[in-house]
Structure 1
Amino acid sequence: MATFPSLNIPPELLQELSKYTTPTGLADYAALAVLGGLGATYLSKGRLWDRPDPLAYLMYERPQLKNGGQAGSANKETRNIAQKMEETGKNIVVFWGSQSGTAEGFAHRLAREISIRWGQEAMTADLSDYDPVTISEIPIAKLAIFVVSTYGEGDPSDNTAEFWSWISKASDVSLSNLRYAAFGLGNTNYKFYNKVVDVVVEGLDKLGAGALMPVGKANDAEGATEEDFMSWKEDLFAVFKDKLGFQEVEAKYIPSLKVEEDESLEPIDLHHGEPSNRNEAPKAAAQSSAVRTLSISESRELFNSSDRHCLHMDVDLSSQPEMSYKTGDHLAIWPGNPDVEVERLLDVLGISSRRDIPLIIKALDPATKITIPTPTSAIAIFRYYLEICAPVNRDTIRDLAQFAPTPDAKAYLLRLGQDKDTYANFITCTHINLGRLLQLACPEKVWDSIPLSYLVETLSHIRPRFYSISSSSVVSPRKPSITAIVSTTSLPDNPDELIHGVTSNYLLAISQQARSQQHPSGITYHLNGPSDALQGGKVFAHIRRSKFKLPALGKTPLIMVAAGTGIAPFRAFISERCQVLKIGKEVGPMILFFGCRSPEEDYIYRDELEEMQTALGGRLRIVTAFSRQHGTPRRYVQDRVGELEDDVVRMIDEGSNFYLCGRAGMAREVEKVVGKTMMKVKGWSETEVNAWSKTIKKKNKWQEDVWG
């Protein structure tokens, strides 16, 4: 403990000083409070209130929404996967690591097919639910299968993070008893294609695990993920038969869930569609706020086009004091399915009249997790919990044949599901979600033999869609905004057949309702939400933290490259820089490269950008690239970056941060151009460029917020 020498101040002097240091009125106490607050802010560096209480959401949650509403969920599950397999009698585990839900869906499909087609007891396992080291305890008589996705700069999904860290560093563990197979989901538009599965396989092999077959990989850039998975799956099943001696049995649906009606329950007991993200992997949960109902305070169109729509929406956080955001974060919107598809599915299943009957979902298999809140109802399941608008894959089409109401319908589904070319040709002219498929296969009868449990197990669950926040938390702290392009595409061989993106068209319907207008395509949604929770133009949403951030120093130069709605976070960045300049702080030079079709149609935020450019007094340069401007050749942002190579290199040398936002293919092309520019201007080799690239990314001087 530190000690201090006596100052030997005379008592008389201390008494005199106390007259001036003791508060004597309200003004003195107020001044002390302000000084104390300023001191606390300085000493804490903002930690006291810059970060919300991580447990604050508990005050706002309905207890019945937790853990899917299941009784007994308080019993702590084991985190030892070998023990779990032993307790549940499983001899094959399919681990999954998924960000968007695709890998998770593949894992569930694979485990179910292993069970019904090969008679093997299989389970799925979220990688974040188990301690990674416990895979070393899986005995040699059992198998492990890994289905993992890669996104961004070779990053693992949130629920893979703990396993990723362990497999990358473990050295004193033996996996000599582990037999495994692995499949990765990736996209060649990203620089590190399928890096996660490569790292996982390398780590498993290093620790002595034995691979049953070569690693499988899917490439979403070619739209081949589904077929890549099915091809690899058949190779895996050939290994089952030829190497492991498994006997194939007649495929027949064996439910792992039970969905039954319980009319003794009252509406107040049910989950009517309220979403929750509190069961996410720990990493994802730590980065996200809880889901709340938020009002849309303003919505406006950004495109000057009759057939294309882009929305700017301001969302109001005033009613949710525990929610906050920072510039560069994402807003997640939880959509509802369109009425036409909900009604179509209820009708074709023959349960339209029983849509509101209370349903209880129970696990028949102890290894099965119930992820839909229970009790609930059919209308809630189809409107808010299942992705009923997504295309139906060949595996599911083939499985549905066993429930066909007529021999002709069964033959139709088998022909479509078993032949790759027939399926491929069909989907180029017809959008086949589940309801449409069943209507096409047998329009004259209802499919009342399809168990609801099958649909709950088979269809993907609705997930939120993430939008880059296009406002600055400094300028607009309680009203984050998003920029959403409305997705409507036509089929290659049938231009009249339109496919409407679920969430963006849901937002368009809300925007049109505020103007007392209909959706341009006549699509309707239950916009009031479950139990009228969204009445008055509200949405279910949550904030997700992002690493896509401005540098701490306002004088740091910025190079920003965006295409389309990728401009959203840069609108926020530039707005914040304007505010920094307004209060007298130094602001560094900036270049914004922005690409769209034409200046007349979709140059969004043009007036705002030009106003901010004027306010910044020459500190912002806007460089445009138009791909469909009449009378001029197509130009893309990567072309403009190459044209201004000297300026780009100079700013990089001056310490500029480099940002990219938009599609992954665009980001890849821009990075190629920058790499070639550095080689040309600086005389570097490709090895030197790669080393430089790794260094600046590690320092967060190069950041990307990309998709697709």
Structure 2
Amino acid sequence: MNATQPALAAPPGLGEERQALLRQLVDGLEPAQLYWIAAYAAQQAAHPVARQAQMPAARLTVLYGSQTGNARRVAERFAAGAEAAGLPVRLVRAGAYAARELSGERYLAVVVSTQGEGEPPDDARGFVEFLASRRAPRLPALQYTVLGLGDSSYPLFNAMGRAIDGRLAELGAKRLAPLAEADVDIEPVAGPWADGALALVREKLTRELPTASVTPLRPAPARPQFHRERPFPAPVLANQRIVSRHADRDVRHMELSLEGSGLRYAPGDALGVWHRNPASLVDAFLAVLALDGQTEVTHDGKGQPLREWLVRERELTRLSRPLVQAIAERADSAVLRAALENPEALKELLTSHQPIDLLRAYPADWDAGALVAALRPLTPRLYSIASSPQAVGEEEVHLTLAVVDYRAHGEPHLGAASRWIADTGEDATLNVFIEPNERFRLPADGARDVIMIGPGTGVAPFRAFVQERQQAGATGRNWLVFGSRHVADDFLYQLEWQQALRDGALHRLDVAFSRDQAEKRYVQHVLRERGAELYDWLAGGAHLYVCGDAAQMAKDVHAALAEIVATHGGKTPEAAQAWLSERLQDGRYARDVY
């Protein structure tokens, strides 16, 4: 908009949230595209009856629920394939889907991931709750297919995909194609599922709509030159330890150059890093199994020495159910077989052991080919970006990295990615890509208050948030709640937060150092102590963000928030939970947990 043009007054009923969504929709569009939208909106307003008549008798809706971006990518590719085939299709994030529309759907494809202990992604929570409720309608006219994405290192593998698939069938819908379940190696399952489901949908829809075609609202954005499958070799500009030499763990601040990559990011996004497994870990595998790293191994049509497979292409620190199964069979272990049949025992095994622990404890004869086949493919690690491009420049990106290093079962253990990245010198490069996180964005309205809860390295995206809000001149208040073990050892970015308080970029800072007193004190304790003020901020429209550990911290923080809403909002526990669920759905409560 030209700076000299007067601002348009919003009509009644178009609140701040909808205005923000509208601004996001039109941002970056060309004049011709804006004129098209204006003409389309005018036509819809002038001819509501004609609009109903013009709606296609049937279409394919592609619905996705994604926490880390994998389900979104698969859904986008599937929808693009349907569109290229000339089918009427729409792609909808589960959090933006109007549940009342479900009864009118004819063809539905759902791509959903499972988080933690069988939970839905945050943006699909409302849809899953609606589907499971008594309000869910009968669906005799619906034909559907579900692709579930999961991680077999968790006991409740693909629980959400199975739950949605089963519930739709209970409601009378018919499976267009069987449930497909993908592990972390997604493509071998997602590719055939997409091809088969698309062929079936195309056959049925073209029979009903022989001239079906779709004109996109705007051209699909060109894929960047560098992406997940083709990462950018980013030069390391800085690799700095930001905790004291007495700290319990090593935490690094990393700065990388994106110059020449064309990659762009926003606060809230993650940086994907393709790592290599450290030589010490590879050597340990070869020694325990008495294998020669130079043995040539051909797998899935690719041949290379065993050492190369282990360094570059196989997960060595994450245990999965299929690997436990393979070890149990080779070692003929009744103990492992029993664990596979007991969900609690399996959960304990998967969370307390790395693959090498089981290989040591249950010796068996392994050949190089069998080992490569049993281990999962290597996957990139995602790290919350700790910088705003407005503050550090578009061709630079920062990370906050905790190095995993501990002893268990009488042996040293390390995090393959964190150790390898931390050992990277400033004359080296890291292979990286940007993973957008649309669910974890600052409010478009800079006058909104923001509450950020980030213990440990979970504070990383909030460093980016504070930088961004300061650069944008946002007038809303910023409140940070940070936690770590010791104030003297691991108060991450302490000087920056103190400067931000002096500059007015940060309005409130509350901290919890768990080991600096006899009784442990965590961020959830701070939240309860500040409950009245916290609820006032939330009731006044503040946006709330949580980043960090999903296994315990996120659950404890959510429980504390529910107590605060119930106590200071005068709600029952059930109503408080419903209130928080609504905030998750409308984007005012966002979590980036892992």
Q: Fold-level match, TM-score > 0.5?
A: yes
Name the aligned partner's letter for residue 480 of structure 1.
V
Structure 2 residue aligned with 1:397 = 327
Q: How far apart are residue 203 of structure 1 and its match?
A: 1.1
What TM-score do the two structures reach when normalised by structure 2?
Answer: 0.63
Q: How far apart are residue 324 of structure 1 and its match?
A: 1.4
* Correspondence 1:151 to 2:115: yes
Matches within 5 A, 1:259-274: none
Matches within 5 A, 1:30-429: 45-47=27-29, 150-151=114-115, 154-155=119-120, 171-173=140-142, 194-207=159-172, 290-304=230-244, 305=246, 307-318=248-259, 320-346=260-286, 352=292, 354-355=294-295, 360-362=298-300, 374-391=302-319, 393-401=323-331, 413-414=332-333, 417-418=336-337, 420=339
Structure 2 residue aligned with 1:114 = none
Matches within 5 A, 1:490-505: 490-491=407-408, 494=409, 496-505=410-419
Looking at structure 2, the residues matched to 559 and 433 of structure 1 have their Cα atoms a distance apart, in angstroms, of 39
Looking at structure 1, the residues matched to 293 and 373 of structure 2 have their Cα atoms a distance apart, in angstroms, of 23
Q: How far apart are residue 466 of structure 1 and its match?
A: 0.7
Structure 1 residue aligned with 2:493 = 605
Alpha-carbon deviations, 1:230-268, whole Å to 9, x = none? Answer: xxxxxxxxxxxxxxxxxxxxxxxxxxxxxxxxxxxxxxx
Aligned partner (choices 397, 414, 430) of residue 480 of structure 1: 397
Distance 1:604 1:457, change over 3 A: same
Q: Is the 8 A contact 2:448 2:475 kept in 1?
A: yes
Q: How far apart are residue 439 of structure 1 and its match?
A: 9.7
Looking at structure 2, the residues matched to 590 and 575 of structure 1 have their Cα atoms a distance apart, in angstroms, of 11
Looking at structure 2, the residues matched to 483 and 396 of structure 1 have their Cα atoms a distance apart, in angstroms, of 36
Q: How far apart are residue 594 of structure 1 and its match?
A: 0.9
Distance 1:165 1:545, change over 3 A: farther
Q: How far apart are residue 540 of structure 1 and its match?
A: 1.3
Distance 1:164 1:149, change over 3 A: farther
Distance 1:155 1:334, change over 3 A: same
Looking at structure 1, the residues matched to 570 and 486 of structure 2 have their Cα atoms a distance apart, in angstroms, of 36
Looking at structure 2, the residues matched to 310 and 566 of structure 1 have their Cα atoms a distance apart, in angstroms, of 12
Q: Matched residue of 1:151: which SS?
A: coil
Q: How far apart are residue 343 of structure 1 and its match?
A: 3.5
Alpha-carbon deviations, 1:585-622, whole Å to 9, x = none? Answer: 342112111111110111110011101111117x5110
Q: Matched residue of 1:628: which SS?
A: coil
* Correspondence 1:666 to 2:553: yes
Structure 2 residue aligned with 1:626 = 513
Alpha-carbon deviations, 1:53-105, whole Å to 9, x = none? Answer: xxxxxxxxxxxxxxxxxxxxxxxxxxxxxxxxxxxxxxxxxxxx9989999xx
Q: Is the 8 A contact 1:154 1:196 kept in 2?
A: no
Aligned partner (choices 646, 657, 660) of residue 532 of structure 2: 646
Structure 2 residue aligned with 1:463 = 379
Q: Matched residue of 1:541: which SS?
A: strand
Aligned partner (choices 528, 533, 544) of residue 435 of structure 2: 544
Looking at structure 2, the residues matched to 101 and 349 of structure 1 have their Cα atoms a distance apart, in angstroms, of 36
Distance 1:683 1:100, change over 3 A: closer
Alpha-carbon deviations, 1:603-656, whole Å to 9, x = none? Answer: 110011101111117x511001111004x5322111111111221122122211
Distance 1:461 1:616, change over 3 A: same
Q: How far apart are residue 433 of structure 1 and its match?
A: 3.2
Looking at structure 2, the residues matched to 634 and 381 of structure 1 have their Cα atoms a distance apart, in angstroms, of 44
Distance 1:675 1:352, change over 3 A: closer
Structure 2: gaps (5+ residues)? 1-22, 31-64, 83-109, 180-222
State the number of aligned residues: 447
Q: Is the 8 A contact 1:324 1:543 kept in 2?
A: yes
Alpha-carbon deviations, 1:538-586, whole Å to 9, x = none? Answer: 1111110012111112221111111111100011111122223xxxx34
Q: Matched residue of 1:207: which SS?
A: coil
Q: Is the 8 A contact 1:337 1:389 kept in 2?
A: no
Q: Is the 8 A contact 1:590 1:620 kept in 2?
A: yes
Structure 1: gaps (5+ residues)? 1-40, 49-96, 104-125, 134-145, 216-282, 364-373, 402-412, 515-535
Looking at structure 2, the residues matched to 42 and 360 of structure 1 have their Cα atoms a distance apart, in angstroms, of 49
Alpha-carbon deviations, 1:104-161, whole Å to 9, x = none? Answer: xxxxxxxxxxxxxxxxxxxxxx99998999xxxxxxxxxxxx9985227954599xxx
Looking at structure 2, the residues matched to 414 and 636 of structure 1 have their Cα atoms a distance apart, in angstroms, of 41
Name the aligned partner's letter for residue 651 of structure 1.
W
Q: Is the 8 A contact 1:148 1:185 kept in 2?
A: no
Q: Is the 8 A contact 1:642 1:673 kept in 2?
A: yes
Structure 1 residue aligned with 2:359 = 437
Alpha-carbon deviations, 1:421-461, whole Å to 9, x = none? Answer: 9x989979x9663598279737xxxx57x361x33432111
Looking at structure 2, the residues matched to 679 and 702 of structure 1 have their Cα atoms a distance apart, in angstroms, of 16
Q: Is the 8 A contact 1:627 1:635 kept in 2?
A: yes
Q: Is the 8 A contact 1:101 1:460 kept in 2?
A: no
Structure 2 residue aligned with 1:657 = 543
Q: Is the 8 A contact 1:299 1:312 kept in 2?
A: yes
What TM-score do the two structures reach when normalised by structure 1?
Answer: 0.53
Looking at structure 2, the residues matched to 642 and 189 of structure 1 have their Cα atoms a distance apart, in angstroms, of 32
Looking at structure 1, the residues matched to 242 and 582 of structure 2 have their Cα atoms a distance apart, in angstroms, of 38
Q: Is the 8 A contact 1:314 1:481 kept in 2?
A: yes
Q: Matched residue of 1:614: which SS?
A: helix
Q: Is the 8 A contact 1:294 1:315 kept in 2?
A: yes
Q: Matched residue of 2:437: which SS?
A: coil
Q: Is the 8 A contact 1:469 1:481 kept in 2?
A: yes
Q: How far apart are residue 692 of structure 1 and its match?
A: 2.4
Q: How far apart are residue 693 of structure 1 and its match?
A: 2.2
Name the aligned partner's letter for residue 172 of structure 1.
A
Q: Percent identity?
A: 23
Structure 2 residue aligned with 1:9 = none
Structure 1 residue aligned with 2:423 = 509
Q: Is the 8 A contact 1:348 1:438 kept in 2?
A: yes
Structure 2 residue aligned with 1:222 = none
Structure 2 residue aligned with 1:692 = 579
